[in-house]
Copies of this chain bind each other. A is one copy, B any other.
Amino acid sequence: MANQRTGLACGIVVAAGRSERMGGVDKVFAQLAGRPLLAWTLAAFKRCDAIDGIVVVASEVSLQRMYEFVREWRFDAKVKAVVPGGATRQESVRAGLDAAGSAAIASAIVAVHDGARPLVTPDIIARGVALARETGAALCAVPARDTVKQVEGDPPVVTGTPAREGLWLAQTPQCFDRELLLKAHREAGNTPATDDAALVEALGHAVTVYEGAWSNFKVTTQEDMIIAEALLRERFASGA
């Protein structure tokens, strides 16, 4: 490609949430198929050759615990920094972006990923990084399987059924030219966006989409933990 971006690629794993839906337990440390949830997520980044380093964004209160976790689970060779996040996901990503641009890491490409998506694979990450090297912005997503409805009012009533064709559900990783995403965050300021891709879209830069996997879902509820555990055990058992 004419526009190929070279330079290092850094994973920014955002694990600074409050896990309100899981009764205050810090979800990323919850046990899942024999290890903490976040260990599955970080293992995928560790095993991904397209990733040169990892920045973990932790909540202020769990920062110490995160350092210990990274060391205990032997991610410290690839995790270049553990940084405190902000009050919102957007602020947390911004903190990760800054760390990924520091002299010690100096990455040209970032792969922003939700810590609570433990079923991501090295392949999904690598494809995002490769696409971001080409296009500057790559979004992992899956085509909507169910009909999407626009719903309004109380009681809620359907106000529209957009054509299912062309509707995708965004996941992470969302991979970007680091400078581009930084610019998008700066321009957005404190205006909340639904995700990083939306900030880059707002700049007018095209965001290219590639297909992830249904299993790469975000673990939010106890039911999700059951699902994730079943899928991880199956994956582990089959050696895939």
Contact = CB atoms under 8 A, between A and B. Distances in A.
Contacts of A146: 169-171, 218
A227 interface: yes
A201 B158 contact: yes
A220 B157 contact: no
Contact of A148 (B145, B170, B230, B234): B170
Interface residues of A, number: 50
Nearest to A220: B145
A207 B161 CA distance: 11
Given A158-B139, A214-B221, A209 B170 contact: no
Interface of A: 135, 139, 141, 144-152, 155-162, 164, 166-171, 194-195, 197-198, 201, 206-210, 214-215, 218, 220-221, 223-224, 226-227, 229-231, 234
A168 B147 CA distance: 8
24 contacts: A141-B151, A144-B148, A144-B169, A145-B218, A146-B169, A147-B197, A147-B198, A148-B167, A149-B169, A149-B197, A150-B166, A151-B166, A151-B209, A155-B209, A156-B208, A156-B209, A156-B210, A158-B206, A158-B207, A159-B166, A161-B194, A215-B223, A226-B231, A229-B230
